[in-house]
Chain A
Amino acid sequence: MIELRNLHKSFGDKEVLRGISTTLEPGKCNLIIGQSGSGKTVLMKNIVGLFTPTSGEILYDGRDFVRMSKRERAQLRREMGMIFQSAALFDSLSVLENVMFPLDMFSTDNYKDRVRRAMYCLERVNLKEAAQKFPGEISGGMQKRAAIARAIALNPTYLFCDEPNSGLDPKTSLVIDELIYGITQEFGTTTVMNTHDMNSVMGIGQHIIYIHKGEAAWEGTKDEVMNSDNERLNSFIFASDLFKKIRDNQ
């Protein structure tokens, strides 16, 4: 479980996050949604420690991430897995080597066991056949799946996904969503996903947080999101004609 308490982040005079408080629940897909520039990415970067909040607390199962020492932070980071918008695979390593990277760095298993674990992760994302290929030789969807395999290699407690469906076709997006959902259920991870893909929201949104101008403007589930009376949320959700029609037909 990750708790955010009154989180603020400013860049100079510009306040991007304005006192966000929420709880990201374990074993669930926690989706952070909002318009571009609303502060989603800044929030995610604060949670994973790429930015330091101006004030507020981030508690990982009670452990204060902001105030812990560098050593404790490095230790906690080994419990995290992250899937970036750009996949962020290492170009110079093959897909198998990419998945093995966290194992090579932190696992005490022997080489055979590390390869076995990496191959299991690749099999889990249905990418075993591309193990020896390099990131530049595979499609965007395959890169995202490889990034998921790398993120789960060390059995993370916390899984972060920054717009994992951006740039993917709807069918591949669905595959990625199902994978993330399946992994969350299987391993009981606290999954936090930044997205503005409404298919993801309606498909796997077990806990949705709507960010508007740096504030958590609404929280709920995918079942509640369609019937909310929050005007800001509705203007975001029903921005497209398709979703307006779905709402009108309900």
Chain B
Amino acid sequence: MFPFNYLQPLGQYLILMGRTFSRPERMRMFLKQYIREMQVLGTDSIAIVLLISFFIGAVICIQIKLNIQSPWMPGWTSGYVTREIMLLEFSSSIMCLILSGKVGSNIASEIGTMRVTQQIDALEIMGVNPASYVILPKIVGLITMMPILVTFATVSGILGAYATSYLLGIITPADLTEGLQHDFEPWFFWMGVVKSFFFAFIISSVSSYYGYRVEGGSQEVGKASTDAVVACSMLILFSDVFLTQLLSDL
């Protein structure tokens, strides 16, 4: 029946999170894993974040200039709109949607493979809490790195806008700079950072859940990976609505 189909996975997810957020057996092992996850999930994503943000920043600036700006509007409009889009939605929500594909599938397939190759069972038999050892460093690692990625995305997007200005001459650098500085509200940047904490938790925990419950072989690992990305994307979109409403009222 409709609601019960969703209640069981929710219960399983909550139980898994309960096991995940328990004290690690050895802090030095946790820290080792934590640093590894920050590198795998965060540092290794910097290049793609910079690349995508740079081009999206450039394209937004060009589109606004070509489609919205007119002689009746001030010259700084393109810069202003580019900044607002980058700060409010792209660098946090859209970037996290993109990262849910890269990072989410990575987490789900890694844990799923550990499950089907009995590495999770091996941890369990050794007396190690597998959820805490495998999942907790991923959650904490991604939550640590996501605000940094969001900041990089914002800066890179603005550099992309400047590239259109200097290389293509779409807008003068002075107009762009004026637009970027116009009516700047620092809270908008922090809104993106706050949202990124929630999105990082969704990506890491939900993907871990899908990977952890895999039973079978490579086909099931692939399915878990796809399901994880779909679930993360949906949850990010839903929570973005609530978080935007909530944070805008502050």
Contacts and interface: CB of A to CB of B under 8 A. Distances in A.
Interface residues of B, number: 17
Contacts of A91: 113, 117, 119
B121 A105 contact: no
A85 interface: yes
Interface in B87-129: 113, 117-119, 121-122, 124-129
Nearest to B116: A86
Interface in A29-87: 48-50, 73-78, 80, 82, 84-86
A104 B118 CA distance: 20
Interface stretch (B25-33, B44-52, B142-150): B25-33
Given A104-B29, A105-B26, A88 B126 contact: no
Interface in B11-49: 25-26, 28-29, 36
Interface residues of A, number: 25
A140 B113 CA distance: 18
Contact of B122 (A75, A76, A82, A106): A82
Contacts, number: 55
Contacts of B121: 50, 84, 88
A77 B126 contact: yes
Interface in B208-225: none
A80 B147 CA distance: 42
Nearest to A79: B127
Contacts of B124: 49-50, 77
B129 to A, nearest CB: 8
B29 to A, nearest CB: 6
Interface of A: 48-50, 73-78, 80, 82, 84-86, 88-92, 101-102, 104-106, 160
26 contacts: A49-B124, A49-B125, A50-B124, A77-B125, A77-B127, A80-B125, A80-B126, A80-B127, A82-B125, A84-B118, A86-B117, A86-B118, A88-B118, A88-B121, A88-B122, A90-B119, A90-B122, A91-B117, A92-B36, A101-B126, A102-B126, A104-B29, A105-B25, A105-B26, A105-B127, A160-B125
Interface of B: 25-26, 28-29, 36, 113, 117-119, 121-122, 124-129
